């Protein structure tokens, strides 16, 4: 896949964002793809005082940026906070598109590089990439392919999607077969297999404390394309083949995974999406300045865990930044 031709954005004109409270957004025009027109969205909340430090956050699968409390915590630590809603997610979803649809994670290079260029133009000289789940997979691969970049200086991965949470035979035979089919039939769909109970553990209308759009982040995850399976499988194989990074990386995950089929309180104290043993195993394959951190009773999105747990998450993150960046 060829490198994207970035569209220059001079004097970016931010608009008020749906989150309010000092959040603004900027539409990033992208090259059209196999579904037609595409955009991404850069969301920003500046620190109270002038700062040259920034975070660029990328969400996971079936997700978008809504974690205003997370942005504010980084603001309080003196970071300008930016987040991307990737193409076909959240604010960037267009009516002619299929949610989440992608055939290669390299497609995201266009919006990541555009965002990083804008962030640098806004006088940020220390930039940390931060990715959740699929966002962690995207950013780890991005960093491995951009070793000479001066646009970012560290990576934080929150439960990165380094492996499918499936049985041995499904991972070793089923996924490679589906990925092979995805090369020739990218638009064929299969059920995602993600449990709706994870969403229940988060949303305030169910058992959680967070308010977000269930249109952009539905409880029932839409079917996924075989092209998406191929894109994820290709990126995961790269992680599993011992990539080397030029910047420090922090990989965080819960201490346990839950596999129950019906709702219980256990869903509020464990990762209901990924196998934490996979995250731990494949994080250790990464060559470079690596730190792996386990969080007791953490959710899949550690920053949405119960208050006591997420306070530990923030403590570990800011300690790591202080000691490594």
What pLDDT is recorded for position 143? 97
Q: Do the beta carbons of residue 189 and residue 223 sit within 8 Å?
A: yes
Q: 191-226: b or e for each residue (b if 16 or more CB lie within 10 Å)?
A: eeebbebbbbbbbeeebbebebeeebbebebeebbb
Q: Do the beta carbons of residue 79 and residue 54 sit within 8 Å?
A: yes
The answer to the question of residue 9 being in a domain is: no
The pLDDT mean for the chain works out to 95
pLDDT digits (tens, 9 = 90+) for 261-275: 899 999 999 999 999
The answer to the question of residue 2 being in a domain is: no
**Domain extent at residue 32:** 15-324
CATH of the domain at 48: 3.40.50.1820
d(CA 261, CA 275): 15
pLDDT digits (tens, 9 = 90+) for 100-128: 999 999 999 999 999 999 999 999 999 99
Least Cα distance to 85 among 223, 237, 247, 212 occurs for: 212
The answer to the question of residue 7 being in a domain is: no
d(CA 160, CA 140): 9
What is the crossing angle of helices 134-145 and 226-240, to 10°? 60
Q: Do the beta carbons of residue 207 and residue 267 sit within 8 Å?
A: yes
The answer to the question of residue 3 being in a domain is: no
CA distances from 260 to 196, 197, 236, 272, 290 (A): 12, 9, 26, 9, 32
Per DSSP, what are the bridge partners of residue 129?
A: 56, 155
Give residue 8's pLDDT band: very low, low, confident or very high (50, 70, 90).
low
The answer to the question of residue 143 being in a domain is: yes
Least Cα distance to 236 among 285, 195, 190 occurs for: 285
The answer to the question of residue 8 being in a domain is: no
User: ∠282-149-57 over CA atoms, to 5°?
Assistant: 60
The answer to the question of residue 1 being in a domain is: no
The answer to the question of residue 178 being in a domain is: yes
What average pLDDT does the segment 200-223 reach? 95
Quick check: helix, strand or coil at residue 28? strand
Q: Do the beta carbons of residue 50 and residue 75 sit within 8 Å?
A: no
Total domain count for the chain?
1
Q: Which residues contact 196 (CB under 8 A, 6 or more apart)?
A: 219, 220, 221
Looking only at the bridges linking them, the beta strands covering 154-158 and 126-132 are: parallel
Higher-confidence position of 7 and 20: 20
Higher-confidence position of 195 and 205: 205
What pLDDT is recorded for position 3? 45
Give residue 186's pLDDT band: very low, low, confident or very high (50, 70, 90).
very high
pTM: 0.95
């Amino acid at each position: 896949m060829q490198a994207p031709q970035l569209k220059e954005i001079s004097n970016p004109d931010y608009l008020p964002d749906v989150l309010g409270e000092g959040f603004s957004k900027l539409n990033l025009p992208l090259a059209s793809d196999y579904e037609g027109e595409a955009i991404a969205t850069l969301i920003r909340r500046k620190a109270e005082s002038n700062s040259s430090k920034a975070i660029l956050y990328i969400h996971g699968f079936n997700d978008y940026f809504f974690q205003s409390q997370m942005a504010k915590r980084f603001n309080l630590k003196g970071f300008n906070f930016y987040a991307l809603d990737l193409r076909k997610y959240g604010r960037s979803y267009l009516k002619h598109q299929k949610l989440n649809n992608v055939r290669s994670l390299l497609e995201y290079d266009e919006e990541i590089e555009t965002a990083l260029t804008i962030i640098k133009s806004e006088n940020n000289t220390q930039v940390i990439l931060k990715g959740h789940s699929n966002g962690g997979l995207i950013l780890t691969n991005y960093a491995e392919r951009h070793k000479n970049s001066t646009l970012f200086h560290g990576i934080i991965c929150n439960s990165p999607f380094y492996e499918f949470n499936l049985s041995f035979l499904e991972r070793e035979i089923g996924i490679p077969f589906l990925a092979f089919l995805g090369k020739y039939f990218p638009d064929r769909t299969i059920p995602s297999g993600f449990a709706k109970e994870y969403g229940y553990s988060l949303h305030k209308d169910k058992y959680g404390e967070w308010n977000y759009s269930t249109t952009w982040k539905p409880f029932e995850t839409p079917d996924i394309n075989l092209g998406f399976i191929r894109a994820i499988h290709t990126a995961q194989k790269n992680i599993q083949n011992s990539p080397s990074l030029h910047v420090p990386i922090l990989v965080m995950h819960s201490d346990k995974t839950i596999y129950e089929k019906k709702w219980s309180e256990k869903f509020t104290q464990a990762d209901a999406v990924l196998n934490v043993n996979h995250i731990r195993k494949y994080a250790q394959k990464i060559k470079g300045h690596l730190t792996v951190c386990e969080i007791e009773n953490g959710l899949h999105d550690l920053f949405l865990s119960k208050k006591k747990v997420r306070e530990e998450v923030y403590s570990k993150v800011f300690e790591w930044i202080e000691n490594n960046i």
